[in-house]
Amino acid sequence: MPFALLKYGLRRRYRPVPDLPPEPDLKKRYDVVIIGGGGHGLATAYYLATVHGIRDVAVLEKGYLAGGNTARNTAIIRSNYLTPEGVAFYDESVRLFQGLSEEFDFNILYSERGHLTLAHTDAAIRTARWRAEVNKHLGVASEVIYPDEIARLAPNLNLSRDVRHPVLGALYHEPGAIARHDAVAWGYATGAARRGVSILQKTEVTGIVKDGDRAIGVETNRGRIEAGQIVQQVAGASTLLADMAGFRLPIRTVPLQACVSLPVKPFLDPIIVSGSLHVYISQTPRGELVMGGASDPYPLYGTRSTLDFKEGLMANMLELFPFLAEMKILRQWAGMTDMSPDFSPIMGETPIRNYWLDSGWGTWGFKATPVVGKRMAETVATGTVPELIRPFRLARFDDIELLGDKGAASVGH
């Protein structure tokens, strides 16, 4: 086998097979134009092509493929949310994720670890019980467990009572998983491109062309493109695009920072999250510890990292894993998140006809990649918003029918 591989590598006529076909020429018109070449946009293009047979699709990306928040998240997948609408929605996403490697014939390194949301206060235990009951009612595996059981799942975790915030219990979500985020985007991109979708990088949308209240195309740095329908899937830049299209959003753009350590031997199986300590940590199959915390304390259209963030994160994390004090940080980064007021996404219709919205993904967007793709594709193909994502409509802010998922969406807001 090694000799065969060597021979293959040294062969003169060796021709690597590119993952993506060469970028096609820009056309004057597409049936569907997707703004944003991240996970969500690529997944939408993929399901438009595979499920609905709509292949005259362009995905416009101002930078490079999946270089925004798809590359800047912490790759956690779970469905233990608080609102019934949220649980049902994310549950479909988890089930789609479980079959992705097989569907793509490409390993996304989906790794089911179990997800522990630690509770350090009576209030946190109460929220954990609430979430567990909502989850169980909707058929999602969640239960409240106590330190003896936590110690069995995460033997390295510091469960001493002699700390500032002792662990009282945890919400345990067995299907909680991690995956390789880049592979998810590549899988969708490759699948879409092979079926005729045009993925156009370094193509920045600079304006939306309208005819009355109807969107008919986009202006780009490469000229005007006509479009039958347009889907906006741009995370932190959501407000900028909505301004171009001419409608308002209740979104604030706030950076979320994260970092990874040097790779070490596997010691941490479950994903550990603490809302009170503003920490989440998991170990990748490569052995790196992926760590994140609270969002930045004020809005910013930027992806800089700060020392304050890491000091705050590490101070708390060392209470959970004191033996990591000598660990070195390998990489740090930040993503621009589109935070909605109720910590739920905003999807579906906009005041502009033929212009669909997928935003408000804040700090919880990666885990929804497959379900967003599937359901936004269905929305575009049929012209009606599916029941599963209708509660997440933009108009809910006008009717004040909010979907408060703050207690489950992320930590430390």
Partner 1 sequence: MKLMHCPLNGPRNISEFQYGGVVKTMPDPVAGSDDAWRDYIVYEPNVAGPVLEWWCHLPTSYWFIAERDTVSDRIIRTMPAAEMFGATPAAGDET
Please give the residue ranges that form the binding site for partner 1 (CB under 8 A). 239-240, 248-253, 297-302, 304, 306-308, 341, 397-398, 400
Instruction: Residue 59: name the closest of 350, 346, 70 by CA.
Output: 70
**How far is 3 from 299, CA to CA, in rounded Å?**
55
Of residues 72 and 181, the one with the C-beta less far from partner 1: 72
Of residues 141 and 300, the one with the C-beta less far from partner 1: 300
**How far is 75 from 211, CA to CA, in rounded Å?**
40
Give the angle 164-166-171 at the CA atoms, nearest 5°. 135
Of residues 198 and 239, the one with the C-beta less far from partner 1: 239
Radius of gyration over alpha carbons of the chain, in Å? 22
Minimum distance from CB of 356 to partner 1 (Å)?
Answer: 20
Of residues 246 and 341, the one with the C-beta less far from partner 1: 341
Minimum distance from CB of 397 to partner 1 (Å)?
Answer: 5
CA dihedral sign of residues 273, 274, 275, 279: negative
What is the residue-wise DSSP string for 349-372?
Answer: --SSBTEEEEE--TT--GGGHHHH
Minimum distance from CB of 297 to partner 1 (Å)?
Answer: 6
Residue 60 carries which DSSP code? E
Q: Which residues are CB-neighbours of 246 under 8 A, at least 6 positions away? A: 208, 210, 351, 352
Minimum distance from CB of 253 to partner 1 (Å)?
Answer: 6
Of residues 270 and 362, the one with the C-beta less far from partner 1: 362
Minimum distance from CB of 238 to partner 1 (Å)?
Answer: 8
Minimum distance from CB of 177 to partner 1 (Å)?
Answer: 32
Of residues 113 and 396, the one with the C-beta less far from partner 1: 396
Minimum distance from CB of 228 to partner 1 (Å)?
Answer: 29
Minimum distance from CB of 37 to partner 1 (Å)?
Answer: 20
Of residues 217 and 236, the one with the C-beta less far from partner 1: 236
Instruction: Residue 36: name the closest of 188, 183, 175 by CA.
Output: 188
What is the residue-wise DSSP string for 159-227?
Answer: --SSSSS---EEEEETT-EE--HHHHHHHHHHHHHHTT-EEESS--EEEEEEETTEEEEEEETTEEEEE
Of residues 114 and 255, the one with the C-beta less far from partner 1: 255
Tokens of 261: 């350590």
Query: Contact at 8 Å (CB) between 116 and 320?
Result: no
Q: Residue 152 class from Cβ within 10 Å (0-12 exposed, 13-18 middle, 19+ buried)?
A: exposed
